Amino acid sequence: MGDKKIPRVTLPPDVRLDTLAVREGLPRSPWGENSEALFLTSSFVQPDAASAAARFANEEEAFIYSRFTNPTVMMMERRLAALEGTEACIGTSSGMSAILLLAMGLLKAGDHVVCSRSVFGSTIMLLGREFAKFGVETSFVSQTDVDEWRRAVKPTTRLLFAESPTNPLTEVCDIRALSRIAKDSGAWLAVDNCFCSPALQQPVKYGADLVIHSGTKYLDGQGRVIAGAICGSEALINEKFMPVMRSAGMSLSPFNAWVVLKGLETLAIRMRAQSESALKLAEWLEQQPMVERVYYPGLKSHPQHELAMAQQAGSGGAVVSFIVQGQARGGAVLARKNAFHVIDRTQICSITANLGDTKTTITHPASTSHGRLTEEQRLAAGITQGMVRVAVGLEDLDDLRADLLRGLDSL
Ligand SMILES: *Cc1c(COP(=O)(O)O)cnc(C)c1O
């Protein structure tokens, strides 16, 4: 890239995250808009042929064509990079296309990946099945057993991929320990930070090289658009991912980028409020006689509670899972019936597998997000028929308790 750069917003050098979340982006256009503009344009007019040539040759940084450069997308990228504490970011059309771009940018046939067994289901499919077709091999290991990660590394290992906490069991991995393994083996560590968002957890602080996002979740935060991003060093973003974006085009639409950009302004206060409600809901669920077990990193009963508190700014996040009683008395059939009963009795919660919304969502993982697994795989993953997952939104907490009690009380 030449000397001519797209200018930056002028802010005092020491501003904090809450300020960056609202102010980072691009300088205002000559019209002086206060809310960031939505640049719905596929291409950009060049001042003359020579400038066009310099820009296409990457000698001058400027907007060319929205498959790889757009001001609204760049505002979202700069704001998210600031929140994650990385130099750069590249927006993608979805969370999955961020992982697709990650793999296309870093891996070639013969390379090996070590990935947690508990990551998002489509990530397992993409790495384990789709990329296997192109000669990339993936070993799946325990989310929490650091030694298993180390043992799985081979001379061809190029990437370690983790997600924390996981869905729906909220298992927390030790990002710092994984980053040591990555550094020792000359591999990159990528962390899917969807569940915490940078408001609670910044994986690069613990040594991750790259951070993956589904903007669809907390970054938008209101369940409106599909979006994704990779955050990392300028060198990795410019050299590994930009060229792939330019030729493969898993581009983030300016409209979706704009929605996420505005969502980022309220990210921290939403995460704080939703996590506070989630903790209170989890504590309350632990007291309910019809609840067998609660999974939430903010609870002292959670196996990685201490690690989660250190890694996630003292917060458990906003996703709570619990097991409804029934398995002991009537096996998987009764457990499932009871879980369905609790879900179907709600009058406020949305029955949907999405999360990260201001609207609380409720789902039965065993028959939805993890429905494609065999019962054996599901049990190995710890996902039983009695499990219910709640992604806590911004409704009144008493109303949410009452909503869950409708089913729990009538079992
Ligand atoms: C939803 C999700 C994804 C995929 O994101 P999309 O935007 O739906 O493509 C990836 N990882 C995690 C942890 C998710 O929850």
Residues 161 and 140 in one domain: yes
Q: Does residue 1 surpass a pLDDT of 60?
A: no
User: Does residue 51 register a pLDDT over 60?
Assistant: yes
pLDDT tens string 220-277: 999 999 999 999 999 999 999 999 999 999 999 999 999 999 999 999 999 999 999 9
**8 assigned to some structural domain:** no
Distance from Cα 96 to the centre of ligand 1, integer Å:
6
Exposed e or buried b per residue across 5-29, where buried means at least 16 C-beta atoms within 10 angstroms of its C-beta: eeeeeeeeeeeebeebbeebbbeee
pLDDT in tens, 310-364: 999 999 999 999 999 999 999 999 999 999 999 999 999 999 989 999 999 999 9
For the cut 90, the answer to whether the pLDDT of residue 378 exceeds it is no
Residue % of the chain over a pLDDT of 70: 99
Assign 2 a pLDDT band (cuts: 50, 70, 90): low
Ligand 1 atom 6, closest CA: 95
Asked if the model's pLDDT at residue 187 lies above 90, the reply is: yes
Q: Does one domain contain both 331 and 256?
A: no
Q: Where are the beta strands (DSSP E) in 301-398?
A: 319-324, 350-351, 361-363, 387-391
Whose Cα sits closest to atom 1 in ligand 1? 214
DSSP state of 359: S
The domain boundary residue, chosen from 245, 264, 283: 264
CA-to-CA separations, 393 to 221, 287, 317, 401, in angstroms, rounded: 9, 21, 11, 12
In terms of residue numbers, what domain contains 347? 268-408
Domain limit, last residue, from 244, 264, 284:
264
On whether both 227 and 298 belong to a single domain, the answer is: no
Measure the CA–CA gap between 339 and 173, rounded to whole angstroms: 28
Which range (84-98, 124-138, 365-379) has the least confidence?
365-379
Instruction: Report if residue 89 sits inside a domain.
Output: yes
Given 264, 297, 314, which residue is the final one in a domain?
A: 264
Q: Are 189 and 287 in the same domain?
A: no
Q: For 294-312, write each residue's pLDDT tens digit.
A: 999 999 999 999 999 999 9
Q: Residues with Cβ within 6 A of ligand 1?
A: 94-96, 120, 163, 167, 192, 194, 214, 216-217, 226, 228
